[in-house]
Structure 1
Amino acid sequence: MNRSLLTGPNNETMTRGWRSLFLPRVTKQSLHVYGSEAAVQKECDRQRETSSWVIHPFSAIRNYYILLMLVLTFLNLLAIPIGIAFLDSEHHFRAWEIFNLFSDTVFVLDILVNFRMGVITDQKVILQPKEIRHHYLKSWFALDLISAFPLDYIILIAKSFEEHSDTSSFSASKLVRVIMFARIFSLARLLRVSKLWRFFTEWEQVSNANMEAVRLILRIMGLFLMILLLCHWNGCIQFLVPVLQEFPEHSWVVRENLTNATLGEQYSVAVFRALSHMIGISYGSAEPPSDETELWIVMTSMVSGALMYTMMVASIAAMMTNGDAPAKAFRSKMSQLEDYMTYRKLPRELRTRICNYFQARHQGKWFDEEDIFKLVSRPLREEILNVRCANVLNSVPMFRNRDANFSNAVLLKLRREVFQEGDLITHPNAPGDRMFFVERGRVLVTTATVQAELCDGDCFGELCLLNKGHCTAMVQATSLVRLYSLSAGSFEEVLQGFPEIREELYQTAHERLRV
């Protein structure tokens, strides 16, 4: 055993002061990545040593910040088309202008914040500012820069210049129209919707839940929201064209007596008209389009309606046929397991424990790892196992700094095991035929003289591995724990090819027994 009794994280230290908002919290996601509360506390210590001004991906302040950005992005999604098409009065325009200036400011600041925001990559957290900067510049920086272009500040400066200059009324009117048309380019801010995908991807990386149901719900909600937004934007464009033409007498706005109507009435009729075009009920009014411009707007609405139908059919077909294959296989195995438990009339509590174990072991995905390993060469298998569990092996003194061929041979013999909270892993006087490496979780080791808690990176049973004796300690899982086991028989097979290491290890074991 590597370590004596470990104490849990000092909650008072983690929550003391505003700086604790930058540190990771103990949540389901952080426990899945780090394995235990003690490991989360170590991550807090690592961040304090790295930089106190880096926002950790599992910190409280990042959750608040993400919520702010998502709400602001959604408001932009709704407000920008309405502001461009409908808000022509000075009171409404100023409110919309203030909102846009605030959004531009927040999005520009967001770029700066991202240079100090920790990054999750392959269940690893990057906290070094230089690495964060390099990762951000290579990934999302260009898209964020385009979407955060401060167009409204430029419009404000242009308007201020126009108000203080001695331009003719024609030039002033032309400038106002150009400014109004330029506001359309503020739709580039809607590129910030990509943040929603980024956050969902990160959540999926660190979550051990079955994501298929959540993904399906999000797809349905996304499809429904996209249809609503398509109708919303289409209605705003329907009204924007007559606004740019200064409401000609033959326009549909004048025919419907909406020139001086309220904002709510104008918007409702415009969306109804757009929806009528999209679903092919009518032109949206009693008369057909009155001029060429209105005709093209109607045809565009009809085409967008056809696109909406195509998108609905394609999305539904994709949901039905292009599901997650490993998740489907997992559900099939889960259904088979439930049928078996029902057929054998197993008690309800036992059924629950079996289902929880199956979920924890496979995490919502079914892969036949042995079959996958048969598909690749031995060097590739060794590389895969080095990525997965080399750190676990190197944390044990008897395997540390060994020949790479010996380490790879041992890695090929490791077997992954999962124990639930309360499970007995070993008990006194039981045959000791294997050694265990703790990947994630906590176990309690109890002997006649000592009691110790082990967690990520620890091991136990190394003497039994060499001497094939009986266990002298009771080891019980105190949380969901993922282990790698190495049987004595498999280890003996490895040692046959490395006689020098075999002699050294057995000599060390005999010396420890004499002590």
Structure 2
Amino acid sequence: MEEEGEEKAAGVGKGEGRAGFGMDFKRWVQSTFLRRLGPAGGGGGGGGSSRVGAVGEGVRGDDARVPEDRESQRVLPRGFQLNVSWPKVNVSWPQVCLSCPRPRIAWTKINVVRPQVSVSPLKVNVFWPVPRAFLPELTRPTLMLYGSEAAVMKARGKILAAGQLIIHPYCLFRNYWLLMTGILTVINIILVPFGASFFTDDMLIGAPWTIFNIICDFIFVVDVILNFFTGYTIDKLENVMDSQLIKMNYITTWFILDLTGILPLDYILTMTSYRNLKVRSNNSTYNRYNKINRLARVCSLLRLFRFSRLLRSVQYLEEMQEWTKYGINAILSLIYLFCLIILIWHWNSCLQFLIQKLLNFPENGWVHDEELEDKSIGYKYSFSLLRTLSHMNTLGYGTSKVPKGIPETWLVSISVLTGTALHILLVSRMTAVAASSNGSKRVYQDKYDECKIYLHFRRLPHELRCRVLEHLHNKFKGKWFDERKILEEISESLRLEVMTHSCRDLLLSVPWFVKANNIIINSVMKELKYEVFQMKDTIFRKGAIGNKMYIIERGVVVIEDADSEKKLTKGNYFGDDDRGESLLL
């Protein structure tokens, strides 16, 4: 029984561990029934039953407890046995089975195509403060380009808002910069061939000549850089200020010539040979130095490519000053041609002496014949210029005899051909200038000759011929023009201004139009016609239909009658009055 009680007690303990409320229910029953029935012993329950013995007897079981309060316990009669059966509570927890199906992964082949990424250089927009000198000025070329002052100011605002360091082609800075580079270009194209031909080696590597070349080269390098940021115009109608278009335009036009003109090949060759001569001063090194020095003289002539800057400067100056507007374009073209001829004379003179210098003054050369090796620079240049003028003007070979040697012969031949071409160019240009400068006078002469042929064909009297020809001369003053066609080709507002300037004061000299409004005056001015009468011409006779009114601009008109004579001068009028009656009696 004890083992069985222990097992049952152990079972209750397990049930308590499972259910969690078995011992609480047992204690509630014990406390309730023991208080009513008297003292009782508690027994350990296991499996749902327990046995309680009499008071005073030992209670067996692990779960039996005897209350310590004896007074509150009631003693049962001897031999009385209380059997308490505990209900068996079976708590079964449902078994939850979670079955997770094994996932089946179907691997699909994925073709990953790499995108073609075109990486372009990062474009960084930098806001540059544009100087005022880079903005367009209010000049006639800019007004013709943009149309009005408001458009010019608007263009300024766009340039400032864009924040790009772009030089406007008609700005103040470019005016002064082109003027400076033009003057330096003229100095370079004169002194560079002169120095390469007549200067000694010590003068070429001397401080004055070196400093001059370094300053000029630096300015022209800066000019090449500025050309990448200078806008340009297309036929004076469109202004291009886009940086990419400016760079492409400069690279495809003038960049190669400008780059060739700033290459310092002569400096590199001269410094290299001079340093080698100091390190090893022997005959072979000295000969090599002479050869490199001669090559450096030839390479210095690359600076003559700067002549293109002078052409651009002159073209820009013509646009800004508008010399064509004042009719001096023909004269300027002749001046340019004469300057070009003189420059070619100078280059040819330097080249004549340079060829002899590169050949180390051969014995059959003209320099050796004239004994110019030890003469001064001015003396050498004078003889060389005389020889050049003789060649180019086909006057001979200068003071020397027929050229000897192949290099000298070819050089003289090229010089003669160049001179002949310049003569042809000069004569043709002068003829074109003469023809274009007096176009109106030439047309008048043609008309005058045509009128003479007509008068002769009609066999008119000599006096009448003279009057007709004199009429043409007084009317057109030696220049032919058609006033009606000229006024028809201009706008109505300009036509009205021309007529106002020519006829308004004359028209207001008539009393009828003094108090008239502008509409009437303008309408009358449009109908006015210019007529010229010779001395003793009869304008109209008495009794003729008066459908015209004349206002005298200059001269004298005599109104003759049988009994009277009246003279009218400038500002007087005659013809019809407002009633349709003749004013000439």
TM-score range, shorter chain: 0.5 to 0.7
From 46, 49, 59, the counterpart of 2:158: 46
| Greater relative CO, 1 or 2 (CA 8 Å, sep 6+) | 1
Could you tell me which residue of structure 1 aligns to residue 193 of structure 2?
Answer: 81
Contact 1:100 1:152 in 2 (8 A): no
Matched, 1:110 2:242: no
Partner residue of 1:176? 290
| Residue aligned with 2:145, SS | helix
**In the alignment, which residue of structure 1 is the partner of 2:381?**
267
Cα deviation digits, residues 123-163 of structure 1 (max 9, x gap): 33223323322332333223322333332343344335434
Query: How far is 1:64 from its partner?
Result: 0.8
- Aligned partners of 2:403 and 2:199: how far apart in 1? 25
**Backbone CA RMSD of aligned residues:** 4.3
From the superposition, tell whether residues 272 and 182 of structure 1 become closer, same or farther in structure 2 (CA, over 3 Å).
same
State the Cα distance separating 1:272 from its structure 2 match.
Answer: 0.9
Cα 1:136–1:328 shift into 2, 3 Å:
farther
**Which residue in the other structure is 1:62 paired with?**
174
Q: Aligned pair in 2 of structure 1 residues 187, 320: CA closer, same or farther (>3 Å)?
A: farther
Q: Does 1:162 align with 2:243?
A: no
The residue that corresponds to 2:367 in the other structure is 253
> 1:56 Cα deviation (Å)?
1.8
Other-structure match for 2:100: none
Distance 2:216 2:345 in 1: 24
For the structure 1 residues 193 and 248, does the alpha-carbon distance in structure 2 shift closer, same or farther, using more than 3 Å as the test? closer
Question: In structure 2, how many angstroms separate the alpha carbons of the residues matched to 1:330 and 1:37?
Answer: 38
Inter-CA distance 179–418: structure 2 relative to 1 (3 Å threshold)? farther
Q: Quick one: structure 1 residues 162 and 106, their matched pair in 2 at CA, closer, same or farther if it must change by over 3 Å? A: farther
Distance 1:343 1:107 in 2: 57
Q: CA separation in 1, counterparts of 2:291 and 2:496?
A: 68
Quick one: which amino acid aligns to residue 350 of structure 2? Answer: C
User: What does residue 140 of structure 2 align with?
Assistant: 28
- AA in 2 matched with 1:81: P
Rounded to whole Å, the distance in 1 between the matches of 2:403 and 2:184 is 37
Is 1:152 aligned to 2:290, yes or no?
no
Instruction: Report if aligned partners of 1:101, 1:153 keep a CA contact under 8 Å in 2.
Output: no
Deviation for aligned residue 1:82: 0.6
User: How big is the shift at 1:233?
Assistant: 1.5
Secondary structure of the corresponding residue to residue 239 of structure 2: strand
- How many Å separate the matches in 2 of 1:302 and 1:196? 26
Check conservation: 1:22, 1:55, Cα contact below 8 A.
Answer: yes
Q: Shift of the alpha carbon at 1:88?
A: 0.9
C-alpha distance 212-36 of structure 1, shift in aligned 2 (>3 A): closer
Matches within 5 A, 1:454-469: none
Query: What's the counterpart of residue 333 of structure 2?
Result: 219
Work out the CA distance in 2 between the residues paired with 1:282 and 1:422: 61
Q: Is the 8 A contact 1:32 1:208 kept in 2?
A: no
Is 1:22–1:52's contact at 8 Å kept on the other side of the alignment?
no
Return closer, same or farther for 1:55/1:21 CA change in 2, 3 Å cut-off. same
- Contact 1:53–1:116 (CA under 8 A) maintained in structure 2: yes
Q: In structure 1, what is the Cα distance between the partners aligned to 2:237 and 2:496? A: 22
Q: What residue is the counterpart of 1:310 in the other structure?
A: 424
The 8 Å contact of residues 84 and 180 in structure 1, kept in 2 or not, is answered as: no
* Residue aligned with 1:56, SS: coil
- Which has the greater radius of gyration? 2
Aligned counterparts, 1:334-413, within 5 A = 343=475
Pairing 1:405-444 to 2, within 5 Å after superposition:
418=494
The 5 A counterparts of 1:225-236 are 225-236=339-350
- Following superposition of structure 1 onto structure 2, how do residues 115-126 of structure 1 map, counting pairs within 5 Å? 115-121=228-234, 122-126=236-240
Q: Partners of 1:421 and 1:97 in 2: how far apart?
A: 62
1:416 CA displacement: 8.2
Residues 1:244 and 2:327 aligned together? no
Amino acid at match of 2:256: A
3-state SS, counterpart of residue 120 of structure 1: strand
How far the C-alpha of 1:87 sits from its partner, in A, is 0.4
Relative to structure 1, the CA distance from residue 228 to residue 135 in structure 2 (aligned partners, 3 Å threshold; closer, same or farther) is same
Partner of 2:458: none
Q: Name the SS of the counterpart of 1:125 in structure 2.
A: strand
User: Could you tell me how far apart the structure 1 residues matched to 2:315 and 2:231 are?
Assistant: 15
Aligned counterpart for 1:277 among listed residues 374, 391, 394: 391
Task: After superposition, give the CA deviation of every residue in 1:144-203 in whole Å (9 maximum; x if it has no partner).
Answer: 223333323433443354345437432432343233234324433333333344345556
Task: Tell whether the 8 Å contact from 1:123 to 1:206 is kept in structure 2 after alignment.
Answer: no
CA gap of 1:248–1:194, structure 2 versus 1, over 3 A, is closer
The letter of the residue matching 1:276 is S
TM superposition shift of 1:71: 1.1
Please give the alpha-carbon distance, in whole angstroms, between the structure 2 residues aligned to 1:236 and 1:116.
37
In structure 2, how many angstroms separate the alpha carbons of the residues matched to 1:421 and 1:148? 55
2:224–2:258: 8 Å Cα contact kept in structure 1? yes
Deviation at 1:284, TM superposition (A): 1.2
- Counterpart code for 1:79: L
- Number of corresponding residues: 346
Give the drift of 1:267.
Answer: 0.7
| TM-aligned CA deviation for residue 235 of structure 1 | 1.3
Aligned to 2:184: 72
Give the secondary structure class of the aligned counterpart of 1:180: helix
Indicate the SS of the match to 1:258.
coil
5+ residue gaps, structure 1, are 1-16, 346-353, 363-367, 370-414, 432-515
| 1:100 corresponding residue in structure 2 | 213
What are the Cα deviations for residues 234-267 of structure 1, in whole angstroms up to 9, with x where unaligned? Answer: 2112212232233344433333332222211111
- Equivalent pair of 2:274/2:289 in contact (CA under 8 Å): no
For residues 153 and 176 of structure 2, the distance between their equivalents in structure 1, rounded to whole angstroms, comes to 21
> Which residue identity is paired with 1:304?
T
The CA distance in 2 between the partners of 1:253 and 1:172, in whole Å, is 24
Q: 1:48 to 1:423 in 2, by over 3 A?
A: farther
- Partner residue in 2 for 1:513: none
Instruction: Indicate how the Cα distance of structure 1 residues 251 and 316 shifts in structure 2: closer, same or farther if over 3 A, else same.
Output: same
Tell me the CA shift for residue 231 of structure 1: 1.6
- More off after superposition, 234-243 vs 301-310: 301-310
Give how far 1:120 is off: 1.8
**CA distance, structure 2, for counterparts of residue 198 and residue 192 of structure 1:** 10
- Deviation, 1:232, is 1.1
Residue deviations 1:462-512 (CA, integer Å, cap 9, x gap): xxxxxxxxxxxxxxxxxxxxxxxxxxxxxxxxxxxxxxxxxxxxxxxxxxx
Give the letter aligned to residue 273 of structure 1: R
CA 1:248/1:138 → structure 2, altered by over 3 Å: closer, same or farther? closer
Higher mean displacement: 290-299 or 186-195: 290-299
The 8 Å contact of residues 266 and 299 in structure 2, kept in 1 or not, is answered as no
Contact persistence 1:147–1:190 (CA under 8 A): yes
User: What residue is the counterpart of 1:350 in the other structure?
Assistant: none
* Aligned with 1:137 (options 251, 255, 270): 251
Structure 2 unmatched ranges of 5 or more: 1-128, 448-470, 478-482, 501-516, 521-585
Counterparts in 2 of 1:114 and 1:292: CA distance versus 1, 3 Å: closer
Q: Secondary structure at the match of 2:392?
A: helix
- Percentage of matched positions with identical amino acids: 30
Residues in 2 aligned to 1:194 and 1:178: alpha-carbon distance in whole angstroms: 28
Give the Cα–Cα distance (whole angstroms) in 1 for the partners of residues 299 and 423 of structure 2: 27
Spell out, residue by residue over 1:278-333, the C-alpha distance to the aligned partner (whole angstroms, 9 max, x if none): 22333211544455544444344333333332333343455467x69xx9689979
Contact 1:253 1:259 in 2 (8 A): yes
AA aligned to 2:357 is V
